[in-house]
């Protein structure tokens, strides 16, 4: 889901078709809203380190894991990290249990002769609980479309992986992420008001096209140049349930600041 700065276009939400026979989203989330309906939404957040897919060595990841292990994190925030495939086992063996592991992608089915792909079964075998599907880079560079992403997400869900994803037909264990393409890695970030406008529109779409219960309980997170300086103002907004963090997730102390910005939601509530 993307838009140009200051020009928020989202009238049809084609990436969230309820009628799709499969699922096709995330990069992570916060706290519940103050109103009664939203109070059923999980009181917590997901913060995914998706940015490590393009960066990292064993040494740099060891340093990052050490920073996270020593950080004081809000207890009621769900924290998920998504290292590159080749470092998942290293991270799993050294990271505190408090933080869960996500993969950045998985295959459309049960494996087979698909050189270079990773199956959901393999991810579960090494201890992953989450997987990201529908990232803008997978769409725009690799060429994955809604139907293909949907099938991948649906299969991951069938294998009991939780999915950070767009376009879903089964909303259990789903987190939705909004990430303006123009904000990815550019240092530009949507204003809190812009982000809230889109998140509220997504939640309204869910209410009208899926159900009020799904709209209330689904966590919608923001991604796109989130950092320790701008997270607090974003976190205060009613419909921003957390963050998908890229470059800032490579800095352990700053990532902890972003995680702990969940306290801003408590104050706002």
Average of per-residue pLDDT values in the chain: 77
Task: Label residues 138-166 b or e (16+ Cβ within 10 Å = b).
Answer: bbeeeebebebbbbbbbbbbeeebbbbbb
CA 128/CA 136 separation, integer angstroms: 22
- Better pLDDT: 63 or 3: 63
- Alpha-carbon distance of 128 to 133, in angstroms, equals 14
Q: Is 217 noted as a catalytic residue in this protein?
A: no
- For the stretch 107-133, what's the b/e string if a residue is b when 16 or more beta carbons lie within 10 angstroms of its beta carbon? bbbeeeeeeeebbbebbbeeebebbbb
User: Annotated catalytic, 213?
Assistant: no
DSSP track, 50-88? GGGGG---HHHHHHHHHHHHHS---TTS--EE---GGGH
Query: CA–CA separation, 215 vs 227, rounded Å?
Result: 27
Query: Is 130 in a helix, a strand, or coil?
Result: strand
How far apart, in whole angstroms, are the C-alpha atoms of residue 204 and residue 198?
10
Q: Which string of DSSP letters, residue by residue, matches 26-57?
A: --------SSTTGGGS-S---EEEGGGGG---
**Res. 41 pLDDT band, cuts 50 70 90:** low
- Domains in the chain, please, with CATH? 16-268 (3.20.20.70)
Tell me the mean pLDDT in the region 118-137.
Answer: 90
pLDDT of residue 24: 26
pLDDT digits (tens, 9 = 90+) for 171-230: 777 888 888 878 776 778 889 999 999 999 999 999 998 899 999 988 999 988 899 999
Please give the Cα distance from 223 to 81 (Å, whole number): 14
What pLDDT, on the 0 to 100 scale, is given for residue 124? 94
Q: Would you state the pLDDT for residue 76? A: 79
User: One of 74, 100, 179, 238 is an active-site residue; which one?
Assistant: 179
- Is the per-residue pLDDT at 39 higher than 50? no
Q: Which of 27, 133, 135, 199 is catalytic?
A: 135
């Amino acid at each position: 889901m993307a838009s140009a700065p200051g020009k928020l276009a989202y009238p049809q939400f084609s990436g969230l078709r309820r009628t799709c026979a499969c699922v096709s989203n995330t990069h992570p989330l916060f706290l519940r809203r103050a109103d009664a309906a939203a109070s059923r939404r999980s009181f917590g957040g997901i913060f995914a380190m998706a940015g490590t897919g393009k960066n990292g060595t064993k040494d740099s990841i060891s340093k990052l894991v050490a920073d996270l292990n020593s950080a004081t994190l809000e207890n009621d925030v769900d924290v998920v990290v998504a290292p590159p495939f080749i470092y998942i086992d290293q991270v799993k063996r050294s990271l505190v249990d408090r933080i869960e592991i996500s993969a950045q992608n998985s295959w459309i089915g049960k494996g087979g002769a698909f050189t270079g792909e990773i199956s959901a079964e393999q991810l579960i075998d090494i201890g992953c609980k989450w997987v990201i599907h529908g990232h803008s880079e997978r769409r725009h560079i690799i060429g994955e479309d809604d139907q293909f992403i949907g099938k991948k997400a649906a299969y991951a869900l069938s294998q009991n992986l939780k999915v950070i994803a767009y376009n879903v037909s089964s909303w259990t264990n789903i987190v939705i992420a909004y990430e303006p393409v123009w904000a990815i890695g550019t240092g530009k970030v949507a204003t809190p008001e812009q982000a809230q406008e889109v998140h509220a529109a997504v939640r309204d779409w869910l209410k009208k096209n899926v159900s009020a219960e799904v709209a209330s309980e689904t966590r919608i997170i923001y991604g796109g140049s989130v950092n320790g300086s701008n997270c607090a103002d974003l976190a205060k907004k009613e419909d921003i349930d957390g963050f998908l963090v890229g470059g800032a997730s490579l800095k352990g102390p700053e990532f902890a600041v972003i995680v702990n910005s969940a306290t801003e939601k408590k104050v706002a509530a």
